[in-house]
Amino acid sequence: MGEPAAPMMPRPSVPEADRLLGVKHPVLSHGYVVLVDYMGNDAAIVQAARVSYGAGTRSVRDDRGLIRYLLRHRHTTPFEMVEFKFLIRLPIYVARQIIRHRTASVNEHSARYSVMPDEFDLPPVEDVRRQSARNRQGRGEALPVEASEAFRTDLDRISREAYAAYERALESGVARETARLVLPLAYYTEWYWKVDLHNLLHFLSLRLDPHAQEETRRYAAEIARLVRVVCPVAYEAFEEFTLQGLTLARREQVALQALLAGRTPEAACAEAGLPLTREDGRPMQSGEGVEFLEKLERLRSGSGSGPTV
Ligand SMILES: Cc1cc2nc3c(=O)[nH]c(=O)nc-3n(C[C@H](O)[C@H](O)[C@H](O)COP(=O)(O)OP(=O)(O)OC[C@H]3O[C@@H](n4cnc5c(N)ncnc54)[C@H](O)[C@@H]3O)c2cc1C
pLDDT of the chain, 309 residues: tens digit per residue: 566 666 666 778 899 999 999 999 999 999 999 999 999 999 999 999 988 665 545 544 699 999 999 999 999 999 999 999 999 999 999 999 999 999 999 999 988 889 899 999 999 999 999 888 777 778 888 899 999 999 999 999 999 999 999 999 999 999 999 999 999 999 999 999 999 999 999 999 999 998 899 999 999 999 999 999 999 999 999 999 999 999 999 999 999 999 999 999 999 999 999 999 988 889 998 899 999 999 999 888 876 556 677
Q: DSSP assignment of 5-27, as one string?
A: SS---PPP--HHHHHHTT-EEEE
| Active site annotation includes 139 | no
Overall size of the chain counted in residues:
309
Taking the whole predicted model, whether its pTM rises above 0.75 is answered as: yes
**Ligand 1, residues at Cβ distance < 6 Å:** 100-103, 137, 199, 202, 206, 211-212
Q: Contact 295/251 with Cβ under 8 angstroms?
A: no
Instruction: Count CA within 13 A, CB hemisphere, residue 175.
Output: 5
Top mutation candidate among 93, 100, 196, 201 for ligand 1, by most atoms within 8 Å of CB:
100
Catalytic residue, chosen from 68, 207, 217, 218, is 207
Alpha helices in the chain (DSSP H): 15-20, 42-53, 57-60, 63-72, 92-98, 145-171, 176-179, 197-207, 214-230, 232-238, 250-260, 265-272, 288-301
Burial class of residue 190 in the structure, from the number of CB atoms within 10 Å of its CB (0-12 exposed, 13-18 middle, 19+ buried): middle
Residues 231-253: pLDDT tens digits?
Answer: 999 999 999 999 999 999 999 99
| SS3 state at 85 | strand
Distances (CA, A) of 27 to 38, 74, 188: 21, 31, 12
Cα Rg, the chain, nearest whole Å: 24
- Which residue's CA lies nearest to atom 6 of ligand 1? 97
Q: Contact 243/308 with Cβ under 8 angstroms?
A: yes
At 137 the pLDDT is 74
